[in-house]
Amino acid sequence: MREYSGKKELVDTIQKKYQKYISEFATIPENLKEKRVEDVDKTPSENLSYQLGWINLLLQWEKDEQQGKDVKTPAKGYKWNNLGGLYQSFYNQYGSFSLKEQEILLTKSVMELCEWINSLSDKEL
């Protein structure tokens, strides 16, 4: 895993990569949200749901830890050898939203992730 010189470089990289990632969805019409294409393992909706699921799971781990709760990884009811079931839960949770709604939710989640990173000390990071 790559190491970053500090919070600023990490957050800048996340934001830059996110803009590149999300721009790929700009031209996908809503009627193709569940379309599978060759060489891509997820539909557009599944792809966004996957990102939403993992970012929100990471943020939830941090909230639970801050509240002194026992952190369940990857998530309550799932084991690392059953990630397919976890991914399906992401698709179920976010897949009913339109692509635009998923993009808005993901943008908010990425912003929250960056805010959390910025709140950490360099030692914590």
What pLDDT, on a 0 to 100 scale, did the predictor assign at position 3?
86
What pLDDT, on a 0 to 100 scale, did the predictor assign at position 79?
94
Q: What residues are paired with 75 via a beta bridge? A: 78
Residue stretches of the chain with pLDDT short of 50? none
What pLDDT, on a 0 to 100 scale, did the predictor assign at position 14?
98
Q: Are 108 and 56 in contact (CB under 8 A)?
A: no
Give the Cα separation of 101 and 82 in Å (integer).
28
Which of 41, 52, 44, 42 minimizes the C-alpha distance to 18? 52
Tokens of 16: 């830059």
What pLDDT, on a 0 to 100 scale, did the predictor assign at position 1?
74
Give the Cα separation of 34 and 38 in Å (integer).
13
What pLDDT, on a 0 to 100 scale, did the predictor assign at position 123?
83
Which of 112, 102, 81, 88 minimizes the C-alpha distance to 14? 112
Q: Are 75 and 86 in contact (CB under 8 A)?
A: yes
Give the Cα separation of 110 and 114 in Å (integer).
6
What domains sit in the chain, N to C, each tagged with a CATH number? 7-119 (1.20.120.450)
